[in-house]
Structure 1
Amino acid sequence: MNIALFSDTYPPEINGVATSTFNLRKVLHDHGHNVVVVTTNPFSKKVTYDGETIRIPGAELKHLYGYRAAGVFNQEAYDMLVKFHPDICHVQTDAGIGIFGNIVASRLRSARVYTYHTMYEDYTYYATKGHFERFARNVVRYYVRAKSDSVTELIAPSEKIKDYLRAIGVDSYINVIPTGIEFSKFSPKMVDANDVASLKASFGISAKDFVVLSLGRVAKEKSIDVCLRGYADFLKNGPKVPTKMLIVGGGPALEDLKALAASLGIGDHVVFSGAVKPDQIQRYYALGDCFVSASITETQGLTFMEAMAAGLIVLARYDDNLQGTIADGKTGYFFYDEEDFKEKLSNVITLPIAVKKQIQANAYQAIDVYSMEHFYENIIEVYQRANKKNW
């Protein structure tokens, strides 16, 4: 099958949609399909094609993580896709590249598959700055309904997204397909102890420090400030053990969080690594003992599963979307507010070794359903059905 994937974000950018698209391309290619990814070009002002990825230049969005905004149509890229002639156009995003994907599917009469990855209502403040928020959310809902009802097959990466789509009036059949993850690369068996020691030393983290890890995009909607405040309370009132909080990632909230850490008086306990390359992420998971997140805007929570695969105990703010992955006290722990964060972190740090090993074993078992093979089996069924509908 010839499959074109359209995404406005792709590695080296680090986010859930980029990771999902990269993993999808890999698993399809590994199963013998012809796959081309169409995305933005952060490296050149020209259209480039390396046999796997068509990159289209666009304007840099400095206020939005430095992402690129490509135009909705590019003739040079279109001519390449005419030669490729996709059976499936799978659109992952909704900006310029996503719109281009819809145009290509329409012109070439390819089956159109759409994955609704992002809860856009959680991000309208980037455009509105708090003004006309209700209007902006209504516009988003109208757009999502129209887009979802116009495609051959619709995919949601989680039940949370499916419930949202139903709540706003989407009537199309919704396939729930979680993104597959290549867990093997995060396995503790792949860790180089000398590399971990060296990387810790570069951040001023000692071998005795219990490392509380936050990893991902550093932005307002990730609520990292909740973890910082909870950690400050832990340092003041929790068990007196040596700890460091390591915040890995870049984004628009980075400077605000540094200022918050300083104002809380915990600057010497918090390390900000800045952005890291996607192929280096597993090294940073290996630095942690516990993975923490207060985000409740995740559509699936790939970083939670990556952390579990890396053998970290996960401490996450409760969200319905995580119930299928995190069983409180069995595969990880939930917290509800900053006070609860302090209590749960204290519990995690003092876990007996046997209990920790059991939680890790339970976590490995829980994430098996998100394997790449399960992902492929689910996605290819949707593609085959879309092709039949498109005959």
Structure 2
Amino acid sequence: MTQQSLTIMIGADTYPPDVNGAAQFGYRLATAMHHRGHQVHVLAANPNERKNYTRTVNGVVEHRLISHKALTHPTIRICTPWGIWKRVGEILDDVKPDVVHVQCHYIVGRVLLLQARKRGIRVIATNHFMPENLDPFLPFPRWFNDAFAKLSWKDMRFVLERAQVVTTPTPIAARAMKEAGNFKKPVIPISNGINSDDYQLREGEHFDPHPQELRIFFAGRLAVEKNIDVLIEALSLLPQELNHTVLELAGEGEKHAELQEKAQECGVADRVRFLGYVSDEQLREGYLRADVFCQPGTAELQSLVTLEAMSASRPVVLANALALPHLVQEGENGYLFEPNNAADLAQKLAQVLLAPEEERRRMGQCSRQMVETHSAQKTWETFESLYLSNQIYYDFVVSQKK
């Protein structure tokens, strides 16, 4: 822990009770910094109504901002720049943070960054999004979405490059921001981090073997970009000797009803278990009882749930898209499959599930070893250093020139 206690303000366009990787990271960052002795404030949308309020949750001060329902999504709420501009300025003047850490360039992050810069406050910016992530929420023709993505890249660069330091969770995301986003300022890849010990069996803990079935586990929003329909179809394509395999889906989302229909159409409704929203402990248990974890999503900048499954020593089968290939050593801890190809996914799942139990255990141990490089402790220490100075940034720039 740093010797200096800081007042940190985190700006998040998505934050719990939202359920997604960026929201979870914002919460983990805030609570970790609080536990490390800092005063932490969070700016985020009011999840329920058009009203500003402030409350303290587990030592973190939450400033919830007036928000509105998104027209293209049943649960997401958004703020407007004109609706929160004055309030964000008032909060900054009252709190007087040493550093601001924004998690996005869209609304809350944009307004907080610009207001902080006006006051000469140090700003760190972390990008968790690719413009293409918005496609499922833009009910427009392909040409419009492509044009919007280009505009979003330009807008992201305009906003985030005003920060002293820009980070993103993975090297592949940093490369995309440089190549597709035309970022001039170096973008530092810093893992979202994971407390891997949280997902291991505790002393005296065990899970009863389940010889009558094998289990595939997925955790995340039941959303279009997760491609869970492909996973359900793949389940139906597994060879006959794996017809005792079940698929557990932990999470809720707008595609729930459609996915239930998909399971019926594929003839596997009796083998697909919709667990709904699960607690952190239930999620941990889901990883530990699984024989393989699958992430078929194609919009993952890191995939925290995959890191959690790997921490639980599970083999993984992941889509060969964005950051997911960095989490697979082919044949060692799992396999990659061609995105949206149910037949290829079924083949890769079968390779894991038909392997002897000892082989799956070995693959899981490899996952566990790989995830050690994503230590949360290292992540929090890195951000603490960035809050205080640009030294890590300068070191990174020098390393890129070698």
TM-score after normalising by structure 2 = 0.86
Q: Which of 259, 271, 287 is equivalent to 1:269?
A: 271
Are 1:91 and 1:101, in contact at CA under 8 Å, matched by a contact in 2? yes
Are 2:213 and 2:246, in contact at CA under 8 Å, matched by a contact in 1? yes
2:106 matches 1:95: yes
Q: Tell me which moved more, 274-283 or 319-328.
A: 274-283
Q: Tell me which moved more, 76-85 or 286-295.
A: 76-85
Q: Secondary structure of 1:258's match?
A: helix
Q: Which of 159, 165, 185 is equivalent to 1:147?
A: 159
Q: Tell me which moved more, 355-364 or 270-279.
A: 270-279
For 1:12, the equivalent position in structure 2 comes to 17
Task: Summarize the Cα distance change of 1:125–1:363 in structure 2 as closer, same or farther, 3 Å threshold.
Answer: closer
Are 1:238 and 1:343, in contact at CA under 8 Å, matched by a contact in 2? no
* Letter of the structure 2 residue corresponding to residue 179 of structure 1: N
For 2:284, the equivalent position in structure 1 comes to 282
2:164 matches 1:159: no
Q: Secondary structure of 2:112's match?
A: helix
For 1:321, the equivalent position in structure 2 comes to 323
In the aligned structure 1, how far is the partner of 2:392 from the partner of 2:367?
Answer: 38
Cα deviation for residue 212 of structure 1 reads 1.0
For 1:296, the equivalent position in structure 2 comes to 298
For 2:125, the equivalent position in structure 1 comes to 114
In the aligned structure 2, how far is the partner of 1:70 from the partner of 1:84?
Answer: 21
Q: Secondary structure of 2:9's match?
A: strand
Q: Secondary structure of 2:116's match?
A: helix
2:270 matches 1:259: no
Q: Tell me which moved more, 211-220 or 65-74.
A: 65-74
Cα deviation for residue 207 of structure 1 reads 6.7
For 1:49, the equivalent position in structure 2 comes to 55
Task: Summarize the Cα distance change of 1:247–1:164 in structure 2 as closer, same or farther, 3 Å threshold.
Answer: same
- The residue correspondences of 1:364-379 to structure 2 (distance < 5 A) are 364-379=368-383
Task: Summarize the Cα distance change of 1:281–1:191 in structure 2 as closer, same or farther, 3 Å threshold.
Answer: farther
For 1:178, the equivalent position in structure 2 comes to 191
Q: C-alpha offsets along residues 308-348 of structure 1, whole Å, 9 cap, x if unaligned?
A: 11232211122352333221111222222322222222221
Task: Summarize the Cα distance change of 1:87–1:386 in structure 2 as closer, same or farther, 3 Å threshold.
Answer: farther
Q: C-alpha offsets along residues 182-227 of structure 1, whole Å, 9 cap, x if unaligned?
A: 223222327966xx78xx9xxxxx7722111111011111111211
2:330 matches 1:340: no
Cα deviation for residue 230 of structure 1 reads 1.2
* Letter of the structure 1 residue corresponding to residue 274 of structure 2: F
Q: How many residues align?
A: 378
Cα deviation for residue 181 of structure 1 reads 1.5
* Letter of the structure 2 residue corresponding to residue 353 of structure 1: E
In the aligned structure 2, how far is the partner of 1:98 from the partner of 1:208?
Answer: 50
Task: Summarize the Cα distance change of 1:150–1:190 in structure 2 as closer, same or farther, 3 Å threshold.
Answer: farther
Q: Tell me which moved more, 240-249 or 274-283.
A: 274-283
Q: Secondary structure of 1:54's match?
A: strand
Q: Which of 204, 210, 216 is equivalent to 1:212?
A: 216
Q: Tell me which moved more, 220-229 or 39-48.
A: 39-48
Cα deviation for residue 387 of structure 1 reads 9.7
Cα deviation for residue 59 of structure 1 reads 1.6
Q: Secondary structure of 2:389's match?
A: helix
Are 1:47 and 1:77, in contact at CA under 8 Å, matched by a contact in 2? no
Are 1:155 and 1:175, in contact at CA under 8 Å, matched by a contact in 2? yes
Moved over 4 A (4+): 74-78, 190-193, 277-280, 386-389
In the aligned structure 2, how far is the partner of 1:59 from the partner of 1:278?
Answer: 28
Task: Summarize the Cα distance change of 1:308–1:208 in structure 2 as closer, same or farther, 3 Å threshold.
Answer: same
Q: C-alpha offsets along residues 226-263 of structure 1, whole Å, 9 cap, x if unaligned?
A: 111111111xx342452211111111222221111111
For 2:398, the equivalent position in structure 1 comes to none
Q: Secondary structure of 2:27's match?
A: helix
User: Which sections of structure 1, spanning at least 5 residues, go unmatched?
Assistant: 201-205
- The residue correspondences of 1:302-313 to structure 2 (distance < 5 A) are 302-313=304-315
Cα deviation for residue 305 of structure 1 reads 0.7
TM-score after normalising by structure 1 = 0.88
In the aligned structure 1, how far is the partner of 2:221 from the partner of 2:294?
Answer: 13
Q: Secondary structure of 1:66's match?
A: coil
2:36 matches 1:27: no
In the aligned structure 2, how far is the partner of 1:133 from the partner of 1:86?
Answer: 37
In the aligned structure 2, how far is the partner of 1:27 from the partner of 1:240?
Answer: 42
Q: Secondary structure of 1:252's match?
A: coil
Q: Which of 111, 133, 146 is equivalent to 1:134?
A: 146
In the aligned structure 2, how far is the partner of 1:388 from the partner of 1:372?
Answer: 17
Q: Secondary structure of 2:42's match?
A: strand
Q: C-alpha offsets along residues 65-92 of structure 1, whole Å, 9 cap, x if unaligned?
A: 5122123326555434323211211110
In the aligned structure 1, how far is the partner of 2:74 from the partner of 2:199?
Answer: 25
In the aligned structure 2, how far is the partner of 1:129 from the partner of 1:3?
Answer: 39
Larger RCO (CA under 8 A, 6+ residues apart):
1
Q: Tell me which moved more, 369-378 or 353-362.
A: 353-362
Are 2:52 and 2:63, in contact at CA under 8 Å, matched by a contact in 1? no
Are 2:136 and 2:224, in contact at CA under 8 Å, matched by a contact in 1? no
In the aligned structure 2, how far is the partner of 1:62 from the partner of 1:284?
Answer: 34
* Letter of the structure 1 residue corresponding to residue 297 of structure 2: S
Q: Tell me which moved more, 60-69 or 321-330.
A: 60-69
Are 2:103 and 2:109, in contact at CA under 8 Å, matched by a contact in 1? yes
- Identity over aligned pairs, percent: 22
In the aligned structure 1, how far is the partner of 2:198 from the partner of 2:329?
Answer: 24
Are 2:44 and 2:108, in contact at CA under 8 Å, matched by a contact in 1? yes
User: Which sections of structure 2, spanning at least 5 residues, go unmatched?
Assistant: 1-5, 394-402
